[in-house]
Structure 1
Amino acid sequence: MESGKVEILKFLEEKTGSKSKFYFNDFTKLFPDAKAREVKKILTELVKEEKMEYWSSGSTTLYGLKGAGKQAHGEGED
């Protein structure tokens, strides 16, 4: 699971300039041989560790680095 966490954080840090929030399916593409449930567990662990956060529009849930993006700046989280 630790290598999965590193892979996800690396992916997010590389994309920081272009996007700050990603769909669940964006992360499943990083692990084509893993089941969706396994990827979900990794993402949940990263959220629990406060390295990532959920963002919801009401109908869609996205994931991003904690404190990154326009939404965080607008809410005074930076």
Structure 2
Amino acid sequence: MSELLDDKEAATKAVVDWLEKKAKTKTKFYIKDFYKIFPDDKPRMIKKVVNKMVEDGILEFWSSGSTTMYGLKGAGIQHASEKEE
């Protein structure tokens, strides 16, 4: 396991920084996209970090019913359209 995943604060910062850089073109990502941030770690450990960030309210799930994606809480086009009801 990398030292980065041992330090949850550093792992959270790495994920948020990566998502903010990508936000200009995309706001939702598959779990496999997060593997690029931590190439030396096992997918299960990365998923635990991402799911903990969802629990903490930093990230959120988005699901189409067959696909689950993750993004920064409050980011993305669907938030604007959901509030227009």
Q: What TM-score does the superposition give when structure 1 sets the normalisation length?
A: 0.91
**Larger radius of gyration, structure 1 or 2?**
2
Name the count of aligned residue pairs.
Answer: 76
**Runs of at least 5 residues in structure 1 that lack an aligned partner in the other structure:** none
C-alpha distance in 2 between matches for 1:8 and 1:44: 12
Identity of aligned residues (%): 47
Secondary structure in structure 1 of the residue aligned to 2:24: coil
Runs (4+) of structure 1 moved beyond 3 Å? none
C-alpha distance in 1 between matches for 2:44 and 2:53: 14
Q: What TM-score does the superposition give when structure 2 sets the normalisation length?
A: 0.84
| Pairwise CA RMSD | 0.8
- The yes-or-no answer on 1:46 pairing with 2:53 is yes
C-alpha distance in 1 between matches for 2:21 and 2:60: 17
2:12 aligned to which of 5, 21, 28: 5
- The yes-or-no answer on 1:68 pairing with 2:75 is yes
